[in-house]
Amino acid sequence: MAEKTLLRALAGEVVPTPPIWMMRQAGRYLPEYRATRAQAGDFLSLCYTPDLAAEVTLQPIRRYGFDAAILFADILLVPQALGADLWFVTGEGPRLSTVTTEDDLGRLKGPEDIHDHLAPVYETVRILARELPAETALIGFAGAPWTVATYMIAGRGTPDQGPAHALMRENPALFDALMDRIEAATIDYLSHQVEAGAETVKIFDSWAGSLTGAAFDRYALEPARRITAALKKRHPGLPVIAFPRGAGMRYEGAHAATGADCIALDDGVTPEWAAEHVQVAGCVQGNLASSHMVTGGQALIDETRRIVRAFSKGPHIFNLGHGITPDADPANVQLMIDTVRETVTA
């Protein structure tokens, strides 16, 4: 384990060549993924069939030799395990039954009752722990409570998370109770992933950027801090990555505010600013714009080099600022990896 470069970076070591992985690295841009998804029949069947979920997790490792694999699952499996109805509309994304009243909340299960439903996910982790190359770290993950709550309240993704903000204002007691339920479930879910073999976990707060001021502290930073603390108490030494996407200047201080070992950065901040204001506190991850995976060329090479060099004085994990998109060219992924590994930072 000590030889895994991702874990070394998470421990605060400055690795000469930063470890590389990519959000959504198992996904629709790869033909082998599309073939396996077709075999599964639909997206949720793919998530809940351990052999196939492990297969798509392993595909980008075989193709590219990333330094880490991230469990193939979805952040909305937790609300489904809590009792929400979940389905996917082709071309439009997820749909859920909503939680907007006390009765809706009352119909949800307790956090202790989610694990039978999520057992296939834990089995996927066990398969990966056996089958991944010895040098490849295994990342577990979950959605942060705020981001998961936005979907549970609206029943779908929304441009501004307006329904969640409205419930926060109009019925704060119900909103807080829902957040608490998701937080407790998330702690248990991630803990079970670690018990199954995950070596680090990442908390994805994809919609953190729509929170501001005291709400950002209360609903983005504080839940991440409590989840991280609970996991580290159960699993001493476990490294945690937090991703409050869209945080902007609030990335500064996020290590201390969340207790996370690494803060993942989107491409809304420059690597030079982040090196000065965020990396000084610990490991950072990021932050190449995912559009470069579509357009490629010299701009991809130049920006990759810029990021590697900007973060070369501290612990850094190279990644995108957001997930790779389905229209990305697999050749550009290889170009990115080659550029990272060839860039001289001295």
Note the pLDDT tens digit of each residue in 75-95.
999 999 999 999 998 888 999
Tokens 């995108």 identify what position? 320
What class is the 71-238 domain? alpha beta
Helix spans in the chain (H): 5-10, 31-40, 43-47, 50-64, 77-82, 102-106, 115-131, 145-154, 162-170, 172-196, 213-216, 222-234, 254-258, 271-277, 292-295, 297-310, 330-342
Tokens 């073939």 identify what position? 35
Model confidence band, residue 1 (pLDDT cutoffs 50, 70, 90):
very low
Interatomic CA distance for residues 157 and 255, integer angstroms: 28
Query: What percent of the chain has a predicted confidence (pLDDT) above 90?
Result: 97
Interatomic CA distance for residues 100 and 251, integer angstroms: 31
Query: What percent of the chain has a predicted confidence (pLDDT) above 70?
Result: 99
Residue in 261, 345, 340, 233 with CA at minimum distance from that of residue 19 = 340
CB neighbourhood size of 316 (10 A): 27
Q: What is the pLDDT of residue 193?
A: 98
Averaged pLDDT of the chain: 97
Domain definitions of the chain by residue range: 71-238
189 DSSP 8-state letter: H
- Summarize the confidence of residues 143-162 as an average pLDDT: 98
Tens of pLDDT, residues 249-286: 999 999 999 999 999 999 999 999 999 999 999 999 99
Tens of pLDDT, residues 5-53: 999 999 999 999 999 999 999 999 999 999 999 999 999 999 999 999 9
- Is 118 in a helix, a strand, or coil? helix
Q: Which two tokens stand for residue 199?
A: 């070596």
Model confidence band, residue 341 (pLDDT cutoffs 50, 70, 90):
very high
Q: What is the pLDDT of residue 345?
A: 61
CA dist 119 to 145, 152, 225, 243, Å?
Answer: 21, 22, 26, 25
pLDDT at residue 308 tops 80:
yes
Contact 15, 8 (CB under 8 A): yes
Name the residue type at position 270: T
Helix spans in 155-282 (H): 162-170, 172-196, 213-216, 222-234, 254-258, 271-277
Give bridge partners of residue 70 from the DSSP assignment: 139
- The catalytic site residues sit at 24, 28, 37, 74, 151
The total number of residues written for the chain in this structure:
346
- Is 236 in a helix, a strand, or coil? coil
Tens of pLDDT, residues 200-229: 999 999 999 999 999 999 999 999 999 999
Q: Is the peptide bond before 287 cis (omega within 30 degrees of 0)?
A: yes
CB neighbourhood size of 330 (10 A): 16
Q: Which two tokens stand for residue 166?
A: 């409205």
Name the residue type at position 120: P
